[in-house]
Structure 1
């Protein structure tokens, strides 16, 4: 009985790890980075990834995903440093789906303060 549980536990562990990897990957985002400017409409610091809803002048509201909570906090972007209504500039990778207003941020700038969420991913020209 025990011997049949071990392979099943291994299989379930593998499925969990592969699912977590797929969730945290960048395969859904374009390789090129773009800048998005707008106004913060909503802030969520909840796991698995803090998110912002950013309203742009021309494109409406975008979902901006930050890093995991620890990574986001390490950048200095913590609860209270930004509020709804603040202007924001986001550098990041937008969704491969041109109809989806979704972006993974590598850097955000709020009130002149820069927060490098993924410093190793920032592309410079």
Structure 2
């Protein structure tokens, strides 16, 4: 019985130990290429909040998922929630996914109607 209890306890720890690793792997920068690209398109959907906001952007028929900053980071850059809205044309500078087939990028700078919003001024 003690052996079974120990196995169940050990098995229950696996998700607790691995979950932070999975979160850090995605929410850091390790999943990106490390190089920057520029993407211009129209926002087709918006989800703002923690741990970061997510935009869907149609760039000439290619649909991209663009991670923007956390609410505090967007605010610090001067963005208001209404700035990132469906139908708005954006130019995004950031790092694309290291997976070539993924249309996913992490935004560092966003330009809307000629105004630059620098989400990561410390990365310049």
TM range (shorter): 0.7 to 0.9
Matches within 5 A, 1:1-125: 18-57=21-60, 59-122=61-124
**Gaps (5+ residues) in structure 1?**
1-11
Normalised by the length of structure 2, the TM-score is: 0.78
Could you tell me how far 1:24 is from its partner in structure 2? 2.1
Q: Deviations over 1:39-98 (max 9, x none)?
A: 1111111221101111011x5110000122211221112211232111110000000111
**Gaps (5+ residues) in structure 2?**
1-14
* Larger radius of gyration between Structure 1 and Structure 2: 2
**Distance in 2 (alpha carbons) for counterparts of 1:76 and 1:13:** 37
- Report the more deviating stretch, 95-104 or 72-81: 72-81
Aligned residues: 112
Aligned CA-pair RMSD: 2.1
The structure with the largest helix share of the pair is 2
Could you tell me how far 1:15 is from its partner in structure 2? 5.6
